[in-house]
Chain A
């Protein structure tokens, strides 16, 4: 246990949500990425977060363990004029739902802000404790 653990814990939470935001931004940026039908489609990125166990049963925040990837099959779209289209006029697009991504984006943003609010409160609490030592 360190001196300013609250700050470190909520900082780890901010980091996790930052990575989730990055993954969602990546998904949204690639929502229209077109590939040939012989190639795998762009795969949706999923951030897998896990708790960090501290000593004596206390938690020490969260961290991103790994990235999981979504469906590589995507969906086939009929676009015969597309330069990447195969003989049947099909191209492969990622199986991403933009509305789904935007909803997750809101959640990630709110989570990021919530952790920053905790940082702020922890700072206020420590500052209040310091007032104890201030001479009048």
Chain B
């Protein structure tokens, strides 16, 4: 259950193209049938699980960094047409990196919390 919780946390900000996880979350309103108590089903369908989400996010960072690298090269060689393009791209890459690292830290925190659970 808690692993599904991690998947849900990560699935919200990082997968722009797939609206299905959001629908799944609202589909959890099916829980009027929650009389059994343990009936919470994991939402981790398709690309929803945390590993895939993190991989996608890292891939997105790599793409942005590659974009910034190309622009930096243009700036160095003098073929850059727009100064702001470079700076905005680097801002975007930095923000995306911070976002992914924050999400990863949060997930790790949750995992450590579980590991600290006395058995």
Contacts and interface: CB of A to CB of B under 8 A. Distances in A.
A4 B92 contact: yes
Contact of A15 (B85, B98, B102): B85
Of B95, B103, B106, most A-chain CB atoms within 10 Å = B95
Nearest to A132: B102
Contacts of A11: 84-85, 88
Choose among B82, B88, B96, B103 the residue with the greatest number of A CB atoms under 10 Å from its CB.
B88
Interface string B7-18: 000000000100
A47 to B, nearest CB: 15
A134 B60 CA distance: 21
B97 to A, nearest CB: 10
Interface residues on A, range: 10 to 19
B84 A3 contact: no
Most buried by A among B82, B85, B91: B91
A36 interface: no
Interface in B72-118: 82, 84-85, 88, 91-92, 95-96, 98-99, 102-103, 105-106, 109
B95 A130 contact: yes
Contacts of A133: 99, 102-103, 105-106
A75 B53 CA distance: 66
B92 A1 contact: no
A119 B16 contact: no
A126 interface: yes
Interface string A106-136: 0000000000100100010011001001110
A15 B95 contact: no
A18 interface: yes
A119 B98 contact: no
Contact of B84 (A2, A116, A127): A116
A5 to B, nearest CB: 10
Interface of A: 1-4, 7-8, 11, 14-15, 18, 116, 119, 123, 126-127, 130, 133-135
